Amino acid sequence: MQPSSSFFPTIRLKPKSDPRKIRHGFPWVYANELVTDRRTKALTPGAVALLEDADRAPLALVAVNPESRIFARVLGRPDAEMPVGGPDRAWFAARLQRALDLRERLFDAPFYRLIHAEADGLPGVIIDRFGDTAVVQPNAAWADARLEALTEALVAVTGVTNVLKSASGRARGLEGLDDVSATLAGTAPDAPVPVQMNGATYMADVTGGQKTGLFYDQRPNHAFAARLSQGAKVLDVFSHVGGFGLACLAGGADSAVAVDGSAPALALAEQGAEAMGAGARFETRKGDAFAQLEALAAEGARFDVVICDPPAFAPSKQALEAGLRAYERVARLAAPLVTEGGFLGLCSCSHAADLSKFRAASIRGIGRAGRDAALIHTGQAGPDHPMHPQLAESGYLKALFFRL
């Protein structure tokens, strides 16, 4: 390989666009920051280009997508080595190996997020590992166009035998990509994959479940909740496949009730409880979470630990105010269900709602419920979900634990 700047097309920042944020590590360039003439608009989605500032000084090697609001994603510095055709198997293998080295330091078993997009040097790419199966979400055009090379490198570096493509989620639509999931290598598992975390057993549906089939990001927050739950009655709202409820049972809870709107997710939660020998202490309630919280209050139900982990109520800036009202409502309805001296855990995976805004909404809700609270712990995603220091969106997960 040779220095790359000589054989890639160039794209250029507008004179009023500040190049310093790219030099300082920001990984995206928006379409309105670029000179987008007919030539740049004609670039193939996924092509590699050299990004220059308005004075033609090189800034970065980028992957472009004229069909996306994020026109360019940084792949490396302008002097980085890059194959003429863009990332190939060897290029992917180097970045996958770097990510694998970190995960193998952190975890004893191969169940984790292997690639967390920009923070692992593969912008827009998510890879979750389930033993000998990996699920890839190629949510950017550059990676989607190179799935064969990515898959070959993934198999070679990790030794997985099955690689699945998950095309769910809104991100692919924003990139102009299809919504067709597929098997890229090996065969798709014909049954849920059991995953051990924090002493609990989770059943991951890697072909038909949400996203990749399991949310690894809450692992440290599950562990903290479990520490609060010895001998406790636990309520896990928006439970998916039993995330907090099963962890609390593994931590010594007397009982756990899981609430979710998805019957398949609750069925997987029940399978997990049975697999860990806790089926008799586990109960599910299917229905709208807000309605179930109101129903439990009307029944006079009380729990020592209540945890609410809803979907992203504020997935964009436009949805922020409505999302914050929803988080406040969750807190207002959940707080009355907590016993005196008990614990309330409230979570947000909305990157548009930063920690301070989410915390303020949660505290308002608790106050409107007539409860006094002390914030005892603030959690985030586990270390297999590293945060890109220049990209706030990669630090999306917040978990607040209150004693009421």
**Best CA proximity match to 352, nearest among 385, 327, 332, 334:** 327
Say how far residue 7 (Cα) sits from the centre of its chain.
Answer: 35
d(CA 27, CA 328): 33
Round to the nearest angstrom and report the end-to-end CA distance of the chain. 61
d(CA 33, CA 13): 6
349 part of the active site: yes
Please state at what angle helix 219-227 crosses helix 243-250, rounded to 10 degrees. 50
Classified as helix, coil or strand, 358 is helix
Look at strands 48-52 and 58-64 and give their pairing.
antiparallel
Stated as kind and residue range, the H or E segment containing 243 is helix 243-250
d(CA 400, CA 360): 11
**Best CA proximity match to 369, nearest among 361, 379, 381:** 361
Q: Are the CB atoms for 34 and 40 separated by under 8 Å?
A: yes
Sign of the torsion formed by the C-alpha atoms of 75, 354, 386 and 216: negative
User: CA 242, 244, 250 angle in degrees (round to 5)?
Assistant: 90
Classified as helix, coil or strand, 343 is strand
Q: Which of 248, 308, 347, 349 is catalytic?
A: 349
Active site residues: 349
